[in-house]
Chain A
Amino acid sequence: MTEARLSTASNQMTIAVSFRQVSRHFGSVKAVDAVDLDIRPGEFFAMLGPSGSGKTTCLRLIAGFEQPTAGSIEIFGSQADGVPPYRRNVNTVFQDYALFPHLNVLDNVAYGPMVRGVGRAERASAAEEALRLVQLPGYGGRRPGQLSGGQRQRVALARALVNKPKVLLLDEPLGALDLKLRENMQEELKSLQKALGITFVFVTHDQGEALSMADRVAVFHEGRIRQIGTPQEIYERPRSRFVADFVGSSNVLPPDFVKLHGGQPRWASLRPEKIRIGNGEAGQGVAGSVLSRSFLGATNRVTVEADGLRLQIVTPAGQPLPDDGATVSLHWLPSDLHLMEGPQ
C-alpha cells in the first residue's frame, strides 16, 4: 500500500490529460476549436454541453479515435499524437456499451487481457474480480443479450476497469437508463471512482448529472470550452449567458435592465431561488405582475413580468403564492446578482 501512495503522490505532479490549442475540424465544421484543457490525476471530470458542442469529439480525441487537426494532447506527460487507441492506456465505456455480442460476459470483460496475451486462467480470475467490483459476480456465463440495460452498463464498466486504465472515459454513461437506475448508478460511479483513484472523464448533456457527480465541469458550446470550474463555481458564477442558461435555469438580465435597477450596465444572471416575492408596495424592489404559477412538488415556480422581462422565481412549497395577474415586488441581494462577461 505504501507503494500505491507513493505513485499517487508522484502522479499529482503531472497532469492526467492536457489539451493545448486542440482543434478537430470535419471539413468546414469546427467540432473542436482551439481548446485548452487540463484534467488532474484522480479527478472526476465532466464535459457538459448540448449535442454538437464538441464534448464527445474531445472524449474521442483522448481515446484516440480522432486525431487533432491542430494542437497537441498529452496523457500523463506523454505525447499522444499519432498513437492509436490500442496503445493508449485509456479505456472507454461507450454510450451503447458496445459489448461484443458473440462473447459471453466473462469473455467480454477478459477481452483486454486476452489481446495483451494474459493467460486463460489469469484473465478469467481478473474478469471475475472486475465483475465482483461492479456487483455482477457469477454473471460471466451469460450473453450480453440476456442482460438488462443497467447490467450491460456494469459489464461495460468492468470490461474497461479490468485493464486498470490511467484514464477512464465515459460517454453519456447514464443516458440510456431510467431515472431510478440512473440515481443508483451515479452514486456507484462516484464511490467506485473514489475507491480506485482512477481519473474519470465523462461526457453528458445533463447538467444535473454533471453538477452532482463531477469534481470539476467544463461547459462546451460550439466547439469551445465556455467555462471550467467546480460545480459550485459554474452554478453560482456563470461566466456567460450561455453557461447561465444551460446550467440550471438562471434568469439572464440584459445590461439595460441591470442598469435600470442600480447596477453596472452588464449582462448578469440571477438564480430563480435567490429572488423573494414581496407584496407589491410601491417604492420597494422591482415591480412586476404574475403571469403564471406551477407546482413542482418541493417548490413552486412563479413567472413574473417586470420591465418587459420574464423572470422565473422558485419559492419553497408552503409559502403563500400571489394570484395570477397580481402586482408584486421582487427583491434580491446585490451579492446574488452575478455579473457576466458577455452573452456567450
Chain B
Amino acid sequence: MRSDRQQSAPLALKIAAAAGLLFLHLPLLLIFVYAFTTEEKSYQWPPPGFTTQWFAVAWNRPDVWQALTLSVQVAAISTAIALVLGTLCAAAVSQTKFFGRETISLLVILPIALPGIITGIALRSAFNLAEIPFSFWTIILGHATFCVVVVYNNAVARFRRMSGSLIEASMDLGADGFQTFRHVILPNIGTALLAGGMLAFALSFDEVIVTTFTAGQQQTLPIWMLEELVRPRQRPVTNVVAMVVVLVTLLPILAAYYLTRDGDQIAGGGK
C-alpha cells in the first residue's frame, strides 16, 4: 500500500468513510450541546435555550464529587498495581524464553478477552465463597486485573522494538543489573509505560460492568451515571457530568497517542 502512483479514492468510498466517521463522532458532539440546554424534564431537541447554570449546580453536588473522588482513587491505585504487574510480566515474556510463555500472555489477555460480565460475576461469586466483604479494595482487585493487560501490551510492544543488545551493551560497559535497569531499560520503556498507565487509568475510570459486581455501597462515577441512566433524577446534571467525562477521558488518550506515535501503536484492543 505504499505506491506513489496512487490515484485519489473513489467518491463513493470517500462518502462511506466520511459517513462512518461522522456516525462515530456526532453522538459525542451532541453531549456538548445538551450540557448547555435549559430544558430540565426531557431530552427535547432543539434545546429551547442555552445556559451555563447546570455547571454550577453539578459543581455543588456532593454525590458527584464523592463518586468522582472514588473513581480517581480506584483508577490511581489500580493503575499503579497494573504498572508493576504488567511491566514485570512484559519484561519476563519479552526478554527471556521459558516454557509456558504463551500461556502467560494468554492469562494476561483473558480478563479482557472474555466478556466483562464473566469477569464480574466470577469475582463476585469468588468474594462470596471466600466471604470477603465488598469494599473499596474489592473494586481495585477487579480493576487491576483487567488493567494489567493494557500496560502489558504497551510494554511488550516497546520491549520488542528495543534492540536486545542494548542491555548487553550496558552490562558490557560495566553497569550491573540495577544500573542497567535505571539507566537503559527505564528510559527506553518509560514513555510506553506512561502511555500504558494513562490508558489503564482511562479504562478503570470508565469501567462499569465489572464494578457493578465488585462494589458494595460505593459509587464510582460510572455507577453514578448508570443510576442516572436507569432512573433519571436530574437530567441536566447528568448532561454536564457526561460532557466532563468525555473531556477527561480525551486527555489521556491524546497524551498516550503522542507518547507512542513514532513506532508502536496504542494497544487499542486493550479495552
Contact = CB atoms under 8 A, between A and B. Distances in A.
Q: Do any beta carbons of A and B sit within 8 angstroms of each other in the complex?
A: yes
Interface of A: 63-65, 84-87, 90-92, 94-96, 98-103, 111-112, 114-116, 159-160, 163
B174 A94 contact: no
18 contacts: A85-B168, A85-B172, A86-B176, A86-B179, A92-B168, A92-B169, A92-B172, A96-B163, A98-B168, A100-B166, A100-B170, A103-B187, A111-B175, A112-B174, A115-B170, A115-B173, A115-B176, A115-B183
Nearest to A159: B173
A112 B171 CA distance: 9
Nearest to B167: A98
Contacts of B165: 94-96, 98
Interface string B177-189: 0010001100110
Contact of A91 (B173, B176, B183): B173
A120 B31 CA distance: 55
Q: Looking at B166, B172, B176, which has the most chain A CB atoms within 10 Å of its CB?
A: B172
B73 to A, nearest CB: 33
A92 B175 CA distance: 14
Given A98-B163, A101-B188, A102-B188, A163 B168 contact: no
Contact of A116 (B171, B174, B183): B174
Given A111-B183, A115-B183, A98 B169 contact: yes
A303 to B, nearest CB: 43
A84 B174 contact: no
B177 to A, nearest CB: 8
A115 B174 contact: yes
Contacts of A91: 172-173
Nearest to B187: A102
Contacts of A102: 187-188
A338 B166 CA distance: 46
A87 B169 CA distance: 13
Nearest to B183: A115
Contacts of B176: 84, 86, 115
Contacts of B175: 86, 111, 115
Given A100-B184, A111-B183, A115-B179, A86 B171 contact: yes
Nearest to B162: A101
B184 A85 contact: no
Nearest to B184: A100
A114 B174 CA distance: 9
Contacts of A114: 183
Interface in B111-126: none
Nearest to A99: B169
A65 B173 CA distance: 12
A159 B165 CA distance: 14
Given A102-B188, A115-B183, A86 B172 contact: yes
Contacts of A87: 174
A86 B174 contact: yes
A95 B164 CA distance: 12
Nearest to A102: B187
Nearest to A114: B183
Interface in B143-176: 163, 165-166, 168-176
A92 B166 CA distance: 12
Contacts of B163: 96, 98
Contacts of A96: 163, 165
